């Protein structure tokens, strides 16, 4: 190569490439000699470029990397290689949250799995023990498949098909939800339901004993401390959490996701809640409670108030029956 002729790399001169690496935005190369002369002058040129590069900010993603020293020393000239460093820029990329893909189909799956599983387990229990009237401990065990469907399925679909139960279903409890929910549940049991059933008692042969018969059946089995603890766990803790997550969480929000209005969503979810208990006499009370719980879930955007209203509703009934 003739001295002073220069050479081209990737469509540009070495001085132009080095200028772009050093972060300069000028179209002309840095002030380096255009014709460095013989090869013996190149070390001085490179030293000048390194000093100017240290004074200027380095372009992001391009870092100079010095080649290892040659074992033959002076017989080879040290050169500078440049490598592109892959740097994650996730903080600069704005991604939209993935929309949930769960829906009414998952609610049907949870309902079928829960009730069919509970019936099958009850059939196995009866075939093995011959006991047609299980005690409280057995009844708690028989609720496991039901709660797996009503509680397990919504939690699973929220995690794998959505953004979690807290975001998708509003599974969140605030301190104010506790007294608010308990007061609403207490008022429903002591004020609303008597007014609701008064015309039914007057027009039919149904009386208060018929309405409270299922609850009395469970309460009469709590004959000791363990029985009371199992009763509270079954009626006051397990049922409110599982049923609210399913009916006011998955079912109600699946209806809203389908585009149904608030009134249709509240009424339909309350009807499904009432009918799924398979208790004809208690159907009006269950429907009214379902409407109140659905309104709480819609107005607050979370399940805390409806869960505690359910707790207060069931707890009031249990305490009244135990004390009387």
**Every domain of the chain and the residues it spans:** 8-92, 169-323
Give this prediction's pTM. Answer: 0.71
Report the alpha-carbon distance of residue 304 to residue 244 in Å, rounded.
9
Report the alpha-carbon distance of residue 322 to residue 324 in Å, rounded.
6
Alpha-carbon dihedral sign for residues 288, 293, 296, 298? negative
Q: Name 13's bridge partners.
A: 8
Of the candidates 246, 265, 247, 248, which has an alpha carbon nearest to the alpha carbon of residue 256?
265
Report whether 57 contacts 63 (CB < 8 A). Answer: no
Report whether 77 contacts 42 (CB < 8 A). Answer: yes
Report the alpha-carbon distance of residue 191 to residue 170 in Å, rounded.
29
Report the alpha-carbon distance of residue 87 to residue 90 in Å, rounded.
9
Q: Which contacts (CB < 8 Å, 24+ apart) does range 120-129 have?
A: 120/145, 121/145
Report the alpha-carbon distance of residue 118 to residue 135 in Å, rounded.
16
Report whether 252 contacts 290 (CB < 8 A). Answer: no
Residue 265 has, within 13 A of its CA and on its CB side, a CA count of 24
Specify the pLDDT at position 40.
56
Report whether 273 contacts 243 (CB < 8 A). Answer: yes
Q: What is the pLDDT along the chain (324 residues), one digit of tens a residue?
A: 444 444 444 444 444 444 444 444 444 454 544 554 555 556 666 677 677 666 655 444 444 445 555 555 454 444 444 444 444 444 445 456 778 999 999 999 999 999 999 999 999 999 999 988 899 999 999 999 999 999 999 999 999 999 999 999 999 999 999 999 999 999 999 999 999 999 999 999 999 999 999 999 999 999 899 999 999 999 999 999 999 999 999 999 999 999 999 999 999 999 999 999 999 999 999 999 999 999 999 999 999 999 999 999 999 999 999 987
Do β-strands 80-84 and 12-13 pair in parallel, antiparallel, or remain unpaired? unpaired
Specify the pLDDT at position 99.
87
Report whether 231 contacts 218 (CB < 8 A). Answer: yes
């Amino acid at each position: 190569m003739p001295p002073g002729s220069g050479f081209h790399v990737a469509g540009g001169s070495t001085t132009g490439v080095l200028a772009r690496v050093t972060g300069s935005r000028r179209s002309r190369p840095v002030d380096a000699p255009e014709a460095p002369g013989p090869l013996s002058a190149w070390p001085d040129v490179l030293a000048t470029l390194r000093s100017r590069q240290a004074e200027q900010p380095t372009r992001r993603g391009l870092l100079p990397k010095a080649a290892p020293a040659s074992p033959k020393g002076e017989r080879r000239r040290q050169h500078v290689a440049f490598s592109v460093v892959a740097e994650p820029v996730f903080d600069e990329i704005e991604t939209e949250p993935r929309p949930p893909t769960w829906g009414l189909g998952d609610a049907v799956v949870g309902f079928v799995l829960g009730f069919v599983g509970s019936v099958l387990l009850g059939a196995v229990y009866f075939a093995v023990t011959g006991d047609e009237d299980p005690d409280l401990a057995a009844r708690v065990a028989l609720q496991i498949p039901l709660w797996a469907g009503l509680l397990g399925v919504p939690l699973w679909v929220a995690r794998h098909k959505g953004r979690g139960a807290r975001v998708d279903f509003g599974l969140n409890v605030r301190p104010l939800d506790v007294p608010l929910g308990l007061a609403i549940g207490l008022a429903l049991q002591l004020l609303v339901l008597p007014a609701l059933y008064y015309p039914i008692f007057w027009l039919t042969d149904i009386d208060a004993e018929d309405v409270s018969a299922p609850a009395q059946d469970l309460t009469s089995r709590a004959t000791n401390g363990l029985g009371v603890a199992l009763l509270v766990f079954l009626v006051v803790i397990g049922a409110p959490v599982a049923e609210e997550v399913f009916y006011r969480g998955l079912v109600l929000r699946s209806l809203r996701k389908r585009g149904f209005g608030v009134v249709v969503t509240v009424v339909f979810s309350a009807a499904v809640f009432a009918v799924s208990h398979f208790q004809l006499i208690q159907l009006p009370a269950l429907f009214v409670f379902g409407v109140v719980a659905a309104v709480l879930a819609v107005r607050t955007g979370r399940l805390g108030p409806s869960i505690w209203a359910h707790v207060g509703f069931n707890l009031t009934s249990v305490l009244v029956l135990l004390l009387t």
